[in-house]
Amino acid sequence: MSLRFILGRSGSGKSHECLKAMKDAVDRNEKNNLILIVPEQFSFEAEKKVLRFIGEKSVFKVQVLSFKRLCYKVFNSVGGATHKRLNDCGKSILIYDILRSLKKELTVFQRASTKQGFTDVILEIITEFKRYNITPEILKETSENLTEKELRDKLNDLYKIYNLFESNLHKSYIDGEDELSMAYEKLDKCTIFDNAEVWIDEFSTFTPQQYNIIKKLMKKSKRVNIALCCDGENYSQEDSGEDIFSVVKATEDKIIRIAMENNIALDKDVNLESNTFRNIDELDHVEKNFFRYPYSKYTKEPMNLRIFKALNNYEEVEFVSKDIVSLVRDKGYRFNEIAVICRELESYEKIVSVLFNDYNIPYFLDSRRKITDNPFIILVLSIFDIKNKNWSYESVFRYLKTGLLDIPKEDVDKLENFVLAYGIKGKKWSEFWRYGLTSKKDQDEYIKDVINPINEIRETVISPLKILHDKLSSQSTVKDLCTYIYEFLVEIKAMEKIELWIREFRDSGDNEKADEYEKVIQIIFNVFDQLVELMGDSKIKLDSFVEFLTIGLNCEDIGIIPFALDQVIVGDLARIKSHDIRAVYIIGVNDGIFPRASREEGILSDDDRNMLKNLGVTLSSDTKTKAFEENFLIYNSITMASDYMVMTYPLADLEGGALRPSVLISRFKKIFPKLIEESTLLKEKDEEALESVVTPESTFNELISVMRTYYDKNENVGDIWAEVYTWFEEREKWNEKVNRVLKGLTYSNLVSSVRTEKIRALYKKPYAFDVSRIEKYAQCPFAYFVQYGLKARDRKIYEFGNPDFGSFVHEVLDSFSKKVKTDKLSWREIDDKWSQESINGIVEKLIEEDSILKSSSKYNYMTSKIKKVLNKSVSVISEHFKRSTFEVLDSEVIFGEGKHKPIKLNLPNGEEILLRGRIDRVDVLEYDGNLYVRVVDYKSGNKKFSLDEVYNGLQIQLLIYLDAILSNEQLLMKKNTIPGAILYFRIDDPIVSTSGKISEEDLKNEILKNLKMNGLLLNDTEILVQMDNEINQYSVIIPAYVGKNGVSESLSSVATKEQFDLLREYVRKTVVELCDNMLKGNIEIHPIKNDGAPCCDYCNFNAVCQFDTTIKDNSYKSINKKQKEELWELIEKKVKTIEDGGES
């Protein structure tokens, strides 16, 4: 019975010393057992090393164990593990059940107890209690001795949870965390370790449970050898508080105390030289000086130590990829001699996977992955979602799009389009669908081609689900529910589909994906088993069952076993353990990430832990100790390589957020003053080109970027890339890809015109155009062509959007105006009560039984909101007339159809075009022998009149409407007509902000200001006063300011009669010009950008035109704002030029 330490700094050969001693014992043919104990995640690697170092004889002589495997050895030898083992999934389910049952009894954790994430927190603290031999009784006793109320309440809650957990658990099961304690009790009877020699390697600390096992091993074994990474002979007690090895030395001291307390002999330590296995001076210098204060500078230029600064994570990993290929190709490295280390592996996993595959680098990602995004898991959970969410679109198609059903993808797409178009959900899924039938002329054909096929797909979807949901409706036991789901999965052949996928993955060489799906099947049925074991005969509500199932699935993850021996290992700093590594890449060396910023986590704070420690209850490390442990992890990573080390960091993350380099980077620069930080920004073009020529796949991706630069910027790419291009072009495998890229780079999305005869055939004579649509052509000719020429449209979705809202309120206001007229009332006479009853009645009449506005509570709320908006708008319009002498002439005036003729204009070639439109309201005033006409357009948005937009053809609608009315002798009875105004009225119920109480009159004025009409008024003081009898300087209803000296042109939006006539002529000529271009086939992709907002932001056809300002010749037509005076001059000049027969 003896204890010996094998001590040495990183790279000194501690593991080699252990293996050498084992080999010597094997060679001497010693009869006693030889046992190597390593951390669980290193056991596979350790077995390979033992086999390589000792040979085949080691298979029979040396046992490689982790502490978990040691427990199994003991139980297999002497028995003891008679109960079933509950895994983390089962424990999570048990804890969640306990938290639900204890909710009313908890003090501190009552609110948190029902949250799913809290289950993980409790599982973590219970696991910690067990590893540190803290029983529920110790918690209770400790809480009774506490004076600090908050911690006492915490411990009382934890005692209740922990005590009930232990009580329920040990009725039928054992916890994996209890196995070490059980093994400790059984070790005395186990003969495997009698007179054995034990080596313990790769640990820096142990839990109290592990210390107990080590104590028993020291008593039973011939000798226990413990290898620890620390400076043995040179260690000073003065350094023990702050030294990088302080955590390890604390471990050594603890084991020595245990040995002395148990009369275990202490053999002389084996102290190893620090640089035995490190071949490079600068790396040896790193090991000796990085955590040394003061440090010694390395005066030579380091050749095997590099720092690389990248623009982002992608460039960072790409640099690493190129360098790895260079090491293997040019310097004889093997992939398994290379490691990539980072602190946040999840942020690098996808990038590493993509780039390492491009560069043909075999790799193993040492990580565990959550399974909740796997299609099989999504399928199972969506079964319940469909029932609980009443067959909502999202739940049904989440289920259908897993790909695990025996339904063709094309059928799923057809079904989705149909469901979206008609808003199908809930009980409608069980009905025979006839949607869209009444609007079809040929109903028989529609039934044959659409109705019958879509109902067949519907039936295929709902039949198995309906049977399952009927079973789930009654209150069942947990066992019943698990059985129903299993039977359902068999019926829809989901497992068969997954097995097919697994075979396909294997055949294509994707063993990792195949393993993932195999494990997912095992996991989900394991969760079912755990549920049945724990709660099988308990009756349970479906919602509760889903919660338990989700808890169980959320705690499961997948670890992948390496499939090859020669591959780069990629892992997190805390997990990665490997020997014989020649080259190390440490990536993501950024501030707050590497090293990780220390922060308090979990239920117990640092203060809580320190108070408990003072009472004799020791738990895991506090934040300060974790900071030392983090430094020790960093020490291990920067000393892992024997030949070559690279540290990299990005300046920004993939979202563009700025990142700073870690303090480690500045520390390296200080210790190595001649170390030059590298960056692609500092490299010569030819040098960078040479480094980019690596594997064909990666080089081809680089070539695409280079070719893009050549074609877009016409830059010389250099001889190297020209040769690379030739290389790819000459090889059959790559030739087609090169040509495809070339076509893509030289491809232009620009279209200038369509042949005249085709475009005219599309629009057909007589050429009739809606005025509002012509504005669309002015915004972007191509968008107009796609929407109104080709008649392209979005997928129909059952929703009430902004366009629907606009159309609906227009219809209501038209009906209301007609009712005012029918009831022989004027807008001045109506009161709020009458208007509210009328509006509400009109709205209800327009909403039929199957209207979307009656389809859900959401739309019921929208209906009430629409009524409120309309009532407010009508109230404001009424107030406008009370302040005005203008009268309504007509509403919803349609010209171009019915009794009002279209506006006729002639194109330059003599052809006639017709303009159509719908005017919301026409007001008139007979005054001084003239008839003044005011055109009002209702807008649901905040539309502003702009002379700039009129000049650019973007706002011609109101002026064309005015022209149509002034030209309509039938409507105006041949009176002398003068334009009075063109105005926009916003339909809204504005929120008025006030600083305090406000009178009813002031509130009314504030609402009027909010809904003030805007547009262009006749510059005539008397007429403006007729529009607003109460005008006092600023009008609250029209865009005018009338002072002592009359109308202020700078503070009003006004124009003279002559200017109105000029605008009428201008827009006519603008329309002729636009329509002429349209009929000549001009469909150029040249969208307008107005006030910094491109019209593309609201366009549904971006995917069609593929407009992109980064593509050559793709640019916006920007509107340059001009002064009012300049605009009038330009408008007048353009009209005169056209009239004189010149080009505009």
Q: Where are the beta strands (DSSP E) in 602-676?
A: 644-650
| Residues 952 and 775 sit within 8 Å (Cβ to Cβ) | no
Q: Is 161 exposed, middle or buried (0-12, 13-18, 19+ CB in 10 A)?
A: buried
- Whether the ω angle into residue 766 lies within 30 degrees of 0, i.e. cis, is yes
Q: Which two tokens stand for residue 1137?
A: 């030029």
Torsions phi, psi of 916, nearest 5?
A: -120, 155
Q: CA nearest 122: which of 150, 143, 100?
A: 100
Q: Is 778 helix (H, G, I), strand (E, B) or coil?
A: helix
- DSSP designation for 786: I
Structure tokens at 990: 């504005």
What backbone torsions phi and psi does residue 174 show, to the nearest 5 degrees?
-125, 150
The residue written with tokens 């002329």 in the block is 441
Helix/strand/coil for 584: strand
921 close to 827: Cβ distance less than 8 angstroms: no
Nearest-angstrom CA–CA distance, 498 and 379: 12
- Rounded to whole angstroms, how far apart are CA atoms 1086 and 1089? 10
What is the rounded CA–CA span in Å between residue 1055 and residue 1019? 5
Q: Which amino acid is at 448?
A: K
931 within 8 A of 972, measured Cβ to Cβ:
yes
**What's the Cα-to-Cα distance from 1002 to each of 56, 230, 1029, rounded to whole Å?**
97, 81, 18
Q: Tokens 């003061």 — which residue?
A: 294
Are 225 and 15 a contacting pair, CB within 8 Å? no
Q: Which amino acid is at 20?
A: K
Q: How many CA atoms lie within 13 A of 302 on its CB side?
A: 27
- Annotated binding-site residue numbers: 780, 1096, 1099, 1105
On whether the CB atoms of residues 1014 and 984 are closer than 8 A, the answer is yes
CB distance 15 to 236 below 8 Å: no
712, HSE (Cβ side, Cα atoms, 13 Å): 14
Evaluated on CA atoms 136, 138, 144, 149, the torsion sign reads negative
Write out the H or E segment, with its range, that includes residue 998: none
H/E stretch holding 113: none
* Cβ pair 889, 924 in contact under 8 A: yes
- Strand order from edge to edge, sheet including 1088-1090: 1093-1094, 1088-1090, 1117-1118
**What is the distance of C-alpha 674 from the center of its chain?**
43
- Given 3-state DSSP classes, what are the helix, strand and coil percentages for the chain, each rounded to the nearest 5? 55, 15, 35
Beta-strand pair 644-650/305-310 = parallel
| 338 φ, ψ (degrees, to nearest 5) | -125, 135
User: Are the beta carbons of 406 and 435 closer than 8 angstroms?
Assistant: no
Which amino acid appears at position 221 of this protein?
Answer: S
In this structure, what are the phi and psi dihedrals at residue 590, rounded to the nearest 5 degrees?
-115, 160
Radius of gyration of the chain (CA): 40
The H-or-E segment that residue 934 falls in is: strand 930-939
Q: What token pair was written down for 845?
A: 């009449």
- Binding site for [4Fe-4S] cluster: which residues? 780, 1096, 1099, 1105
Q: Are strands 644-650 and 539-540 parallel, antiparallel or unpaired?
A: unpaired
Name the 3-class secondary structure at 1013.
coil
The DSSP bridge partners found for residue 801 are: none
